[in-house]
Amino acid sequence: MDYQHICTEVCAIAREVGHFIKEERLKLTADAVEVKGENNFVTYVDKTAEKKIVEALSVIIPEAGFIAEENTSDKKGEIYHWIIDPLDGTTNFIHGVPCYSVSIALMEKEEIVVGVVYEINLKECFYAYKGSKAWLNGNEISVSKAAKLNNSLVATGFPYYDYGRMDPYLNLFEEIMRSSHGLRRLGSAAVDLAYVACGRFEAFYEYGLNPWDVAAGVLIVKQAGGRVSDFRNTSNCIFGKEIVASNFSIHEEFLSIVKKYFK
């Protein structure tokens, strides 16, 4: 399997669909927004974008299955699965906040082998594949060199439906806020991970995420020299609904704080 060639094709698909999403934002009206669950929204743009992505990816690897947020295809593959978020940051998109992205990953058996995150508004395409470096619009990227949390900028995501862990989350939030350069919440986990990979953030953490939110970004962070785990420091961060991604140097320090509140 030529991962580099596949990655190049996926980048082109992400850019094309990203252009469609940006154009449709100008036409979006309030009656086009549907509610999937508590504080969980979808529009015809999400659904159409996913259909476009599924159709294009089906040409690249016809036998591959799909794990996609809007479930426009329930096809199962024996070896390969595409993991797709056609519009990560839908709430931002609906409100006109300029941070949302396309996230596409290819999983071979249990391993992510291609990852692409396209931030639509800045036209930034982050990508990596098995055995590669990590890249942003053709330029190699790497995680930051900050060695301590107190020299770090950290990103997180706010829970929007699972409030059962709010107390430990808010306690952790306070300690990180006091122990770092600050906390940011962009509203797109895929972009948060891409920003860790290119050194804009030193770390990102969140719970309650789905595989399509993180699969592509996890590979990009790893190939950029970073480290990714769940809150217990195991590798179950794609399907386990918990993630800590860092520049590697601060990972142990960061996890030691996380574990104080999420036992």
What CATH number does the domain containing 60 carry? 3.30.540.10
Q: Looking at the structure, do residues 198 and 243 belong to the same domain, yes or no?
A: yes
Return mean pLDDT, the chain: 94
* pLDDT at site 37: 60
Q: Looking at the structure, do residues 15 and 113 belong to the same domain, yes or no?
A: yes
* pLDDT at site 131: 97
32: confidence class by pLDDT, cuts 50, 70, 90: confident
The residue from 141, 165, 187 where one domain ends is 141
CATH of the domain at 236: 3.40.190.80
Q: Looking at the structure, do residues 58 and 77 belong to the same domain, yes or no?
A: yes
Q: Looking at the structure, do residues 154 and 191 belong to the same domain, yes or no?
A: yes
The residue from 82, 112, 141 where one domain ends is 141
Taking the alpha carbons at both ends of the chain, their separation in whole angstroms is 41
* pLDDT at site 162: 77
Mean pLDDT, residues 106-131 taken together: 98
Helix (H) or strand (E) run with residue 244 in it: strand 242-246
Q: Looking at the structure, do residues 177 and 256 belong to the same domain, yes or no?
A: yes
In degrees to the nearest 10, what's the CA dihedral of 11, 12, 17, 18? 60
Query: Per-residue pLDDT for 183 more than 70?
Result: yes
* pLDDT at site 236: 95
* pLDDT at site 43: 85
* pLDDT at site 160: 73
The residue from 141, 174, 200 where one domain ends is 141
Query: Per-residue pLDDT for 227 more than 90?
Result: yes
What is the domain count for the chain? 2
Q: Looking at the structure, do residues 9 and 112 belong to the same domain, yes or no?
A: yes
Q: Looking at the structure, do residues 167 and 129 belong to the same domain, yes or no?
A: no
**CA atoms 182, 188, 189, 193: torsion sign:** negative
* pLDDT at site 42: 80
**CA atoms 17, 19, 24, 25: torsion sign:** positive
Q: Looking at the structure, do residues 205 and 227 belong to the same domain, yes or no?
A: yes
- State which residues form the domain around 93: 3-141
Please, what is the Cα angle at 155 between 149 and 156, to 5 degrees? 120
38: confidence class by pLDDT, cuts 50, 70, 90: low
